[in-house]
Amino acid sequence: MAHVLIPGLSRGSVGAICTQAASWALPTSTLRSLTLASVMRSRRKTDHLERTATVLRREVMAAAKVCEITHESPSVKSLRLLVADKDFSFKAGQWVDFFIPGVSVVGGFSICSSPQQLERERIIELAVKYTNHPPAVWVHNKKNILDLVHEFPEKIACSFHVTKQTTQISSELKPYVTDGRITEKEIREHISAETLFYVCGPPPMTDFFSKHLESSHVPKEHICFEKWW
């Protein structure tokens, strides 16, 4: 699922600089008023964009793709995001404004990977602690294929085919895993007048399945794929 990101300045360092600058210029009575006002405002819940409205931003918006989610602890998940846009960059300590399709609230999450990793791999990593904030809830409750199979067994089935497997397959996945490539026989078993085929993978794989489906009289409009190479 795609996300949109905008890099911002570090919340920690910017807050410290603003506080220090104010103490140089304002008398004690004014500081007390500002402190009280800040405490009163903090009791009212505000969203990320409202809290950081005065922070300078680089107006670079880039699409991102989730390529891995890892449980770091019972309450923290990390996201590995692929950001192909070469104009997107950041410095250590910065955060991103995190826009999620279908979620009206914008999240703000710190980047916990290095700028060098983005340069080498076009990957950034975010660490998200669970809260009842909608963006955090979305990160911690994103369903995978098996969740959908278990929820809708009469509607959804899946079969994972693996080749050159080098790591142990989890017990949860084993009942759904077949060793070897998808065969032409297996494809034929799923061909019908209503079936839509979505093909994604390296060019030779996409070409092979598309040509095989066409030769099996599947209409071209029922064969969907994206050529990203």
Instruction: Give the bridge partners for 108, in sequence order.
Output: 97
pLDDT band at 26 (very low <50, low <70, confident <90, very high): very low
Confidence of residue 229 (pLDDT cuts 50, 70, 90): low
CA of 152: how far to CAs of 3, 7, 140, in Å?
27, 39, 21
Q: 164 near 138, Cβ under 8 Å?
A: no
Q: State the pLDDT confidence band at 35, using cuts at 50, 70 and 90.
A: very low
pTM (predicted TM-score): 0.50
Say how far apart CA 17 and CA 13 lie, in whole Å: 6
Residue 3: pLDDT band with limits 50, 70, 90: very low
The per-residue pLDDT for range 74-110, each reduced to its tens digit, is 899 998 999 999 999 988 888 888 988 888 888 889 8
Residue with tokens 């390296």: 202
Look up residue 183 and give its two tokens.
């065969």
Q: What is the pLDDT of residue 128?
A: 93
Is residue 177 within 8 Å of residue 202, measured between CB atoms?
no
119 vs 89: CA distance, rounded Å = 8
User: What pLDDT score was predicted for residue 46?
Assistant: 67
Pairing of strands 123-129, 95-99: unpaired
